[in-house]
Amino acid sequence: MDYGAQHSFLIRKIAVAGKIRTFRVLALLACSLALFAFIAAAYFYSAMIAMPGSTFTGPLPPLTESQKQLATDLRTTVTHLASDIGKRSIYHPKELAESALYLKEQLAAAGYEVDEHSFPTKGSLTPNLEATLKGTSHPDDIVVIGAHYDTTQRSPGADDNASGCAAILALARSFNDKPQPRTIRFVLFPNEELPTGGTPEMGSWIYAEKARADGDHIVAMLSLEMIGYYSDAPGSQKYPAPLSLFYPSTGNFIVFVSRFDDRALVKQCVGAFRSVASFPSEGAALPAVIRDIGRSDHASFWRIGVPALMVTDTANFRNPNYHSATDTPDTLNYLHAARVVEGLEGVIRALAAD
């Protein structure tokens, strides 16, 4: 018997068996990783991207008479702020003060007592403006609907953010004498843009800190940040990577966006909007490391632990006039904005309910 040959055969057999076991272990590991990746992707989509209801598709229905009037009202406000007044920033303190006075007068004309919370900025006093509709059964629960009224140094700011201010005025008019179970505050902030944006001189930062110090129980905050620019052109919508994999490439919809922690609020708002509005909508509750989701006044409320989101046309990811001299009233679609504002009425009713 050739014991050497037999020994070599056994060694080869053992080696082959070892390789098979190693392959099986690796295959099992690969399958486990693939399953984990699938579960993680499914959870990511369900928690961050998937929203209640279905976005509106197809031709928009004919405008109602109330929507036509709302579109006219929105155009009037945007035109006054962006054309008649123009650039409204700490570099243009006269115009910033003029815009604050105009907005205060419009809220007062709608039947509200307007509270001014003024604070110094670069040698001038600038006010947060607050109009309150007290709740009927849960007045200590507060829903804040806000928008900033300042602009960048070089822009008249039709979309950014006269459109948000116009929506605030329209919503305040709509809810006047129609109190909801919870209190609703319509608030207009200065100093959202640089160099004060993201600093303790930001109007919403100061407002949120005061609310925390006063013990206000704010249950939700919506920041209306640029809601007037829409395009049906293919490829008109851009995103931070990798969001283009999940969302439309045509910029004809409104977005509700926040951080992952506030996903319940995003889903509630999108569901409420889709239940009443015949207009395309998307929602996203994304990781806070995607910094673009925090580029408005809602981030000030994150700082104090309040669920908050931004309602937006996505700013520079769609609007080519962003922060430029061409952000003028004639570039906006007021008919689309009217549909959005009407949908927001339903969202606010849902947030302010029992």
Token code pair at residue 53: 């209801």
User: Do 143 and 282 fall into the same domain?
Assistant: yes
Residues of the chain with pLDDT under 70: 1-7, 9-10, 28-29, 31-42
34 and 138 in a common domain: no
Q: Are residues 36 and 77 in the same domain?
A: no
Judge residue 66's burial from the number of C-beta atoms within 10 Å of its C-beta, 0-12 exposed, 13-18 middle, 19 or more buried: exposed
Say what the pLDDT of residue 41 is: 62
Residue spans of alpha helices (H) in the chain? 3-44, 65-79, 93-109, 163-175, 203-214, 263-276, 298-302, 334-351
Q: What is the mean pLDDT of the chain?
A: 94
For the stretch 25-78, pLDDT in tens is 777 667 666 555 555 566 777 889 999 999 999 999 999 999 999 999 999 999
Q: Are residues 206 and 171 in the same domain?
A: yes
Q: Say yes or no: 77 and 203 in one domain.
A: yes
Residues 163 and 33 in one domain: no
pLDDT tens digits, one per residue of 1-34: 566 666 676 677 777 777 777 777 777 667 666 5
Asked whether residue 14 falls in the same domain as residue 105, the answer is no
pTM of the shown model: 0.91
**CATH code at position 165:** 3.40.630.10
Question: Do 162 and 46 belong together in one domain?
Answer: no
Strands 124-133, 114-121: parallel, antiparallel or unpaired by DSSP?
antiparallel
Residues 176, 284 within the same domain: yes
Note whether 259 and 335 are within 8 A (CB): no
pLDDT at 354: 76
**Distances 336 to 33, 242, 252, 350 between C-alpha atoms, Å:** 45, 27, 9, 22
Q: Are 223 and 296 in contact (CB under 8 A)?
A: yes
Say if residue 167 is in the same domain as residue 240. yes
Instruction: Based on the fold, state whether residues 43 and 63 are members of the same structural domain.
Output: no
Q: Cis before residue 307, ω within 30 degrees of 0?
A: no
pLDDT in the model for residue 11: 73
Domain containing 327: what range?
59-351
Amino acid at 174: S
SS3 at position 24: helix
Total of domains in the chain:
2
Same domain flag for 312 and 164: yes
Cα 248 to Cα 225: distance, rounded to the nearest angstrom: 20
